[in-house]
Structure 1
Amino acid sequence: MLEVHQFPCLSDNYGFLLHDPVSLETACIDTPDADAYLREAAGRGWQITQIWNTHWHPDHAGGNAAIKAATGCVVVAPEVDASKIEAIDRMVKHGDVVSLGGYSAQMIDVGGHTKGHVAYHVPEAGMAFVGDALFALGCGRMFEGTAPQFWASLLRLKALPPQTMLYCAHEYTASNARFALHADPDNRELAAYAEEIATRRAKDQPTVPTKLDRELAANPFLRADDLMLQTRWGGGDAIATFAALRAAKDTF
């Protein structure tokens, strides 16, 4: 089975090393901190062979050049964001496949946070690395995309198997939970989830990864097609509801 090593980076990022124990290949999922990635890989005796970038922001691709110089790894990055990413060897888009040993990751277009953001879905392992497109109880800010684009991206993630583990790039969950309770105050699943999050964060425990089925029940951004949320926020249209929720979160 694939192994995921998760560790904190920078102020609130998570670093992920994805390792295939058969082929001994290891992929960095984004590169917020080159020194941290190299140190964590060396500590586990893993050789970095690939980098999989989700989008161009420096806290996701800023370590590419240093890690490639140290390891000779192959850098995979989204085609639309490629002009802003260093050291790319292969550009990918929606529907493309990359391999790590005997495992394949499918590219999902999740543009909205940036125009070219992609997620890496590994069906056989039941996991998806979603960068800043989706967070536990939240989603990324809409810096470059449009509400229709971002909602279409979230629909692609909603369509994954419900047991998929989502590896989000930041520990934003406590803040997201406060907004979610404001946005959807009558949601019992959300209330229970928020209590669990508070307990975990009080113990300095991570809230990532999260499972898709739980997000489908409690994450207001994935529930913009819910009639009750539409009545509260958007007047009967999923895109308008998503846009209203995103705008409200930006100033919450």
Structure 2
Amino acid sequence: MLEVHQFPCLSDNYGYLLHDPVSGETACIDTPDADEYLRQAGHKGWQITQIWNTHWHPDHAGGNAAIKACTNCTITAPLDDAGKIEGVDRTVSQGEVVMLGNWKAHVIDVGGHTMGHCAYYLPEAQIAFVGDSVFALGCGRMFEGQPAQFWASLQRIKALPVDTMLYCAHEYTAANARFALHADPDNAELAAYAEDIARARAAGLPTVPTKLGRELLTNPFLRADDPAIQARWAPEGEAGDAVATFAALREAKNTF
């Protein structure tokens, strides 16, 4: 089976090393901290052979050059962000496949946080590396995209099997839970989830990965098409408009 090694780096990032013990290949999922990635791979006895970038931001691609210099790995990055990413060997877009040994990772366009942001979904392993597109109880800030684009991206994530584990890139969950409770105060599933998050963080434990099925019931950004969320957040005259509701939620989170 594939192994996912998760570790904290920088102030609130998570680093991920994805290892196939059969082929011996190891992929870095983004590269926020080159030294820490190389240290962690060394501790595991794994040779880094690939980097899969989700988007261009420095806390996701800033370690590319240093890791490539040490390992001669191959770097894959989303086409629309690749011009801002160092050392790219291959660009990918929606529907393409990246291989780690015999494991297939399907590229999903999740643009919105950045124009070219992509996720890597491995159906046989039931995991997806989603970068900053979606978080436990949240979604990325809309730096470059438009609401309709970002909502379409979230719908692609929503369409994955409910047992898919989402590996997001930051430990933002406690803050996201506070906003989610503000956005959706009558959601009993959300209230229970928020209590689990508080216990985990009090114990110093990570809150990611998160299961898609739970996010579908509790994450307000994934529920912009839900009548209960729309009743609270759809702008006047735009009832039933998921894009307008998503945009209102994202703007409210920006200033919460």
TM range (shorter): over 0.9
Alpha-carbon distance in 1 for matches of 2:143, 2:252 = 15
Render the CA deviation track for 1:135-165: whole Å, top value 9, x for unaligned: 0000000000000000000000000000000
Q: Which residue of 2 aligns with 1:156?
A: 156
Number of residue pairs matched by the alignment: 252
Superposed CA RMSD in Å reads: 0.4
Alpha-carbon distance in 2 for matches of 1:31, 1:215 = 26
Q: Which residue of 2 aligns with 1:23?
A: 23
Stretches of 4+ aligned residues off by more than 6 angstroms: none
Render the CA deviation track for 1:46-85: whole Å, top value 9, x for unaligned: 0000000000000000000000000000000000001100
Alpha-carbon distance in 2 for matches of 1:191, 1:122 = 30
Identity of aligned residues (%): 75
Alpha-carbon distance in 1 for matches of 2:228, 2:160 = 23
Q: List aligned pairs for 1:138-153, cutoff 5 A.
A: 138-153=138-153
**TM-score normalised to the size of structure 2?**
0.98
Q: Which residue of 1 aligns with 2:106?
A: 106
Q: 1:91 is matched by which residue type in structure 2?
A: T
Alpha-carbon distance in 1 for matches of 2:119, 2:58 = 17
Render the CA deviation track for 1:92-141: whole Å, top value 9, x for unaligned: 00001000001000000000000000000000000000000000000000
Q: Which residue of 1 aligns with 2:48?
A: 48
Q: Which residue of 2 aligns with 1:134?
A: 134
Which of these residues, 239, 243, 248, is aligned with residue 244 of structure 1?
248
Runs of at least 5 residues in structure 2 that lack an aligned partner in the other structure: none
Runs of at least 5 residues in structure 1 that lack an aligned partner in the other structure: none
Q: Which residue of 2 aligns with 1:35?
A: 35
Q: Which residue of 2 aligns with 1:184?
A: 184
Q: 2:40 is matched by which residue type in structure 1?
A: E
Alpha-carbon distance in 2 for matches of 1:165, 1:24 = 23
Shift of 1:190: 0.3
Partner SS, residue 99 of structure 1: strand
Shift of 1:30: 0.0
Q: Which residue of 1 aligns with 2:227?
A: 227
Q: Which residue of 2 aligns with 1:175?
A: 175
Alpha-carbon distance in 2 for matches of 1:236, 1:72 = 51
Q: 1:221 is matched by which residue type in structure 2?
A: F
Alpha-carbon distance in 2 for matches of 1:77, 1:189 = 36
